[in-house]
Structure 1
Amino acid sequence: MAGIQDVLAVLEAAGFEQLPKPLTVVGTEFDFEAAARGTNTSHDLVLIATDLVPSRRLQRLVAGLARSLDLASSRRPVSLVLLGGIAAAERIELERYARILPIASASPDITEIEEAIAVLLPLRLPNADLVHGSDPANEVMAVLGLSKDTSEHITLVNAAADGPDAVREMLRRYANAGAGWSDQVEDEDDE
């Protein structure tokens, strides 16, 4: 079936490995339509089924697999990708044993598959070279309408990166310098 092959293709592109049929765990065979396992950062066991499998049979297969994985002391999380519709009551029963990732269409396009199984796929972060941000301190200065030539303002804005205490200290020094006060504490015994 094309939908199952498309799901497998998306999973394999994300580093999953297709498992042979039937899936065998602790000597017991489970006849899912397809299965894959994570190989790198993902440890998920992903089962793929269509709405052509009778719901009672699918429930028995998933429950039996969960028991076998428990016997094998497996820590792999199990996800079930369901192509086609599923009734709410059937979904609740299946959720006792696996994370359910439904895809409404029996023959979805790649975008639908990627959206449905997004929790299994690695995050796609924007390329740092393509992000055109400027220096945050310069942005703050621009919003405040301050000139880049004002060294006191630049020092104060840069102190914000170290937190509120650093800003308070910088303001105290700035005010003291403006008032002509020194940071030195005079010894009263010297008078």
Structure 2
Amino acid sequence: MTETTPVERVAALLKNAGFRRIPIPLSIGGLQIDAAAAFVGVSPRPDLIVVGDTLDQTPARLQQTVEGVGRALDMMGSRRPLTLVVVGPRPESSTLTRLSRHARVLPVGDASDRSNLENWLAVLLPLKLPELQESRADDAFDKLIQGARDPLERELIELAHAGATAVSSRLAVRVDEPFVEANDTGARQ
């Protein structure tokens, strides 16, 4: 399928993110609901995503669609979050406000630029974390050590390589030291 229309560009991005396209008209609890496209995610993203196209659907029709899907999900006892992705010319603010009463609304416009589309749909897409670079971690460690003025601070930074448990154990020992010494002194008197 080509990605020439905004709906198909959204569809391609969601499919690549692991969402499964479901047939239209959308069938929920025996109700048939028409939309430009629909997708369902799997854990940890269980969203039901309905795509509406303002070139093919009036604002009133978009609202009927999202209300119908929302009510059908409620009747079925579904806990799936509902997201409406709106492609095409952006509806008026009042329309977006009415739509957002029933679903999370993501107006993406014509979605011609993939980067822009990814930005609009980021809430639905997996988080992309930068890869850890050992040299950056070593540089950060060196800067921390160089900036450490207190011997305890330096000791705890050096213990960080051994993990959080090593740091917390050593810190607990150091916090207890004055009290242990005071008890030892008091016991000798």
Q: 1:21-77: CA deviations, max 9, x gaps?
A: 111111111110001010242100011111111011111111111111111111110
**Root-mean-square deviation over aligned CA pairs:** 3.1
TM-score by length of 2: 0.78
Quick one: which amino acid aligns to residue 79 of structure 1? T
Question: Aligned with 1:48: secondary structure?
Answer: strand
Q: Which residue of 2 aligns with 1:51?
A: 54
Q: Which residue of 1 aligns with 2:155?
A: 155
Asked whether 1:2 is paired with 2:5, we answer yes
Question: Aligned with 2:137: secondary structure?
Answer: coil
> Relative to structure 1, is the Cα distance of residues 155 and 12 closer, same or farther in structure 2, using a 3 angstrom cutoff?
same
Asked if the contact 2:45–2:124 (Cα under 8 Å) also holds between the matched residues in 1, the reply is: yes
CA deviation after TM superposition for structure 1 residue 110, in Å: 1.1
Residue range with higher mean Cα deviation, 91-100 or 151-160:
151-160
Q: Distance in 2 between matches of 1:103 and 1:71?
A: 29
Q: 1:132-190: CA deviations, max 9, x gaps?
A: 211755422212479xxxx98843654794386655567x6xxxxxxxx99953623xx
> Relative to structure 1, is the Cα distance of residues 156 and 183 closer, same or farther in structure 2, using a 3 angstrom cutoff?
farther
Asked if the contact 1:21–1:34 (Cα under 8 Å) also holds between the matched residues in 2, the reply is: yes
Q: Calculate percent identity across the aligned residue pairs.
A: 29
Q: Which residue of 1 aligns with 2:145?
A: 141
Asked whether 1:77 is paired with 2:81, we answer yes
Asked if the contact 1:4–1:34 (Cα under 8 Å) also holds between the matched residues in 2, the reply is: yes
> Relative to structure 1, is the Cα distance of residues 136 and 111 closer, same or farther in structure 2, using a 3 angstrom cutoff?
closer
Unaligned runs of 5+ in 1: 173-180
Q: Distance in 1 between matches of 2:156 and 2:76?
A: 60
Q: 1:56-108: CA deviations, max 9, x gaps?
A: 1111111111111111111110001111211011011101110000113x242
Q: Distance in 2 between matches of 1:23 and 1:30?
A: 5
Q: Compare the two structures and name the one with the higher helix fraction.
A: 2
Q: 1:99-136: CA deviations, max 9, x gaps?
A: 000113x2422111111111111111112246721175
Asked whether 1:12 is paired with 2:15, we answer yes
> Relative to structure 1, is the Cα distance of residues 187 and 82 closer, same or farther in structure 2, using a 3 angstrom cutoff?
same
Question: Aligned with 2:46: secondary structure?
Answer: coil
Unaligned runs of 5+ in 2: 161-166
> Relative to structure 1, is the Cα distance of residues 36 and 71 closer, same or farther in structure 2, using a 3 angstrom cutoff?
same
Asked if the contact 1:33–1:49 (Cα under 8 Å) also holds between the matched residues in 2, the reply is: yes
Asked if the contact 2:86–2:105 (Cα under 8 Å) also holds between the matched residues in 1, the reply is: yes
Q: Which residue of 1 aligns with 2:124?
A: 120
Q: Distance in 2 between matches of 1:153 and 1:62?
A: 56
Q: Distance in 2 between matches of 1:86 and 1:131?
A: 49
Question: Aligned with 2:32: secondary structure?
Answer: strand
Q: Distance in 2 between matches of 1:165 and 1:24?
A: 59
